Chain A
């Protein structure tokens, strides 16, 4: 018996309006678990032989919404969204919280595979066995808050009409896109609730390209049965106990605690597009958020004991009406300090606009900072932008975010994300602007710098990660530490669970065994399963296309800025060390069985049972070795 899974996936072909239910072989599930790992397998199998030609924003791309066997059981349920990324042209596993994953599992499915492109805007409605492609004309063009309100009300009406015997129906799980996704921005997020986002990868733009405005799901069943229920329940109790009793500061202040701390204590927070990484603006401390803008001090998703989210709203003044969660650390940094904004109100306001537009806060904040530095240097003018983009002006940044979401004027270029915008603007301005683009392989870097060496990401964190600038899945192999090990983080993204609740790494394997009954050891995970997935992700990332390719000799590299000495703060003068970088990079490749350019060797692929990947990599080897 297959434990921990429903064993069913919904396949939706939007071009032909065809819906079917697929089963995935148990052996494949065992070898790829779920979430990010399974996404890599599905994408390699189905798109691998034509990968370079597949336009991520075209109908041939697949859009995957996958849970894992731990989803719903491990406290803090998330869903992993993937496909060919319009940012990196590789695969990114992008996860988001909310109640969607739990509803989908209770509806009887482990995931949804979307292909094709609808002729007109649609949304997908799932209620257990009842699945329907529905017209979305009336919500196309709507921003986040309006989209959610309409969808909840409409769904509740429909549920009551179709299944009236039930009594009151509870709200469904919803994933949706805002205008940014509709307009195929490469930095659009897939949104959940009204401020949760799967931002890395740009899958909001993929949803938009398929004219898929939302997915709505209501499940009536229980979670699928597990192999050892007693053990699963005791593990759940332990996660909750540790969160509540031992990690109280974490749950009390959430990731936003770093809003002041990361800048002040570790000199690794982006400030004015990473020109600095240190600040001592006490106006931006967590205490200021707490007393001024938090209207709910604990907010969380299914089963979560930590509830590290905090809900913020501005009730008066010029930013009245703004609502967002926290903002969490990443958004305090990218839509705060990175834009020179140091007031909680200004930060909450910009975050609320970015959320409502369906832009990724990290990618969006990065490109806004990039544009503002070009304005500071006189490279982009008020004429170019239509806005005086002064540091610290929340309204100016919110207006530019709108232009990006609607692709108006300069927004059409910035909607392509920092890397592609830098290429285009360099051409237009006839100067090299790439040095101001703080990204890795088309993906903006998370808000944790490496120059001071005091924060967690290793020196190769972003340069070598198969997920580009992702600050969660950083390139590193310290197996005892989740946040310094790409292979461990791959488990959280495949499980699929919230990594912020993984206070003990062993829990991941304990849960997996108790839920599935499979005895997958840590060694098997690191040496085989995770290594295999990393090899697939790496191969397809290097294969790339159709518009942009990565040469590992050039692009397995930090942004230029990280080699510039920090200009201020207690760590003034510190920068990433080139020699250290090259040494660490070569050790990293070697440990994974990759060659000196980071291409998995034939021998490694054989060992991993990935012989068929060798042909693809031979193409890359030929290209790299011959030039």
Chain B
């Protein structure tokens, strides 16, 4: 299997949140935005940020997990969560530079995108709608470290995005 990566263009996210809907339907069987593995942050209206695992080359979350509940799927490069082993300690959240993993809203385990085993639902709806904020790319290989640059907090991303979309002045003193 070709190793895939979900590429993202924040400036194109329409904020429709259909990705959250299909993700939660696939993994939880319900329309449940808070239990979605991909989350759209709107810290400033108009600046919607799709936030999901970037599969860092050094996997600090997997590294930090005290119970080995997190593992790397070598085929897809996605992080897999073993719900039984996860003790909801939150160490993976602390370790993630983008604070991307988040706790299931009602159950005691962490939520991390597993790329839907190579066929991610979020990408499908985004492509179907031709918003093109998410699409499938091959996993960047020239410099694996560059992937990690995407593992930033929504706050950090929103600041850059504000400069791009609303202009430099707006970015100042924003969040």
Contacts and interface: CB of A to CB of B under 8 A. Distances in A.
A301 B33 CA distance: 13
Interface stretch (B37-45, B114-122, B142-150): B37-45
Given A220-B105, A298-B131, A194 B16 contact: no
Interface stretch (B17-25, B52-60, B65-73, B76-84): B17-25
A299 B165 CA distance: 13
Given A149-B174, A303-B18, A167 B99 contact: yes
A223 B32 contact: yes
Contact of B34 (A148, A194, A221, A244): A221
A155 to B, nearest CB: 11
Interface stretch (A51-59, A204-212, A304-312, A471-479): A304-312
Contacts of B31: 72-73, 222-223
A220 B43 contact: no
B159 to A, nearest CB: 13
A569 B125 CA distance: 45
Nearest to A314: B167
A223 B17 CA distance: 14
Interface string A52-82: 0000000000000000000011010000000
B138 interface: no
Interface in A159-175: 165-168, 170-171
Interface string A230-255: 00010000001000100000000000
B88 interface: yes
Nearest to A173: B42
Nearest to B175: A153
A545 B125 CA distance: 50
Contacts of B140: none
A75 B18 CA distance: 9
Nearest to A76: B16
Contact of A307 (B24, B35, B46, B129): B129
A252 B95 CA distance: 42
Nearest to A302: B17
B125 to A, nearest CB: 8
Contacts of B28: 222
Contact of B24 (A222, A233, A300): A222
B130 interface: yes
Given A219-B34, A222-B35, A299 B170 contact: no
A1 B153 CA distance: 42
Candidate in B14, B88, B105, B130 with the most chain A CB atoms within 10 angstroms: B14
A303 B165 contact: no
Nearest to A218: B34
Contacts of B18: 75, 240, 303-305
A307 B129 CA distance: 9
B102 interface: yes
A148 B106 contact: no
Contact of B165 (A72, A193, A295): A295
Contacts of A423: none
- Which of A193, A244, A302, A321 has the most chain B CB within a 10 Å cutoff? A302
Contact of A102 (B33, B35, B46, B128): B33
A26 to B, nearest CB: 22
A315 B32 contact: no
Given A106-B32, A303-B21, A313-B166, A167 B41 contact: no
Nearest to B99: A168
Interface in B78-135: 88, 90, 93, 99-103, 105-106, 125, 128-131
A101 to B, nearest CB: 12
Interface residues of A, number: 46
B165 A313 contact: yes
B157 to A, nearest CB: 12
B106 A240 contact: no
Nearest to A169: B102
A166 B103 contact: yes
Nearest to B36: A170
A321 B167 CA distance: 8
Contacts of B167: 313, 315, 320-321
A435 interface: no
A407 to B, nearest CB: 27
B41 A170 contact: yes
Contacts of A320: 167, 169
B43 A171 contact: yes
Contacts of B40: 170
A108 to B, nearest CB: 12
Interface string A265-305: 00000000000000000000000000000011011111111
Contact of A305 (B16, B32, B51, B88): B16
A520 interface: no
B160 to A, nearest CB: 15
B16 A301 contact: yes
A303 B102 CA distance: 22
A156 B153 CA distance: 13
B146 to A, nearest CB: 23
B121 to A, nearest CB: 12
Nearest to A321: B169
Contacts of B103: 165-167
A301 B99 contact: no
A505 interface: no
Q: What are the 8 closest A-B residue pairs judged by CB atoms, nearest first?
A: A222-B32, A167-B102, A222-B30, A220-B105, A193-B45, A298-B14, A307-B14, A300-B16
Interface of A: 72-73, 75, 99, 102, 106, 148-149, 152-153, 156, 165-168, 170-171, 193-195, 219-223, 225, 233, 240, 244, 295-296, 298-305, 307, 311, 313, 315, 320-321, 323
Interface of B: 11-12, 14-18, 21, 24-25, 28, 30-35, 39-46, 51, 88, 90, 93, 99-103, 105-106, 125, 128-131, 153-154, 165-167, 169-170, 174-175
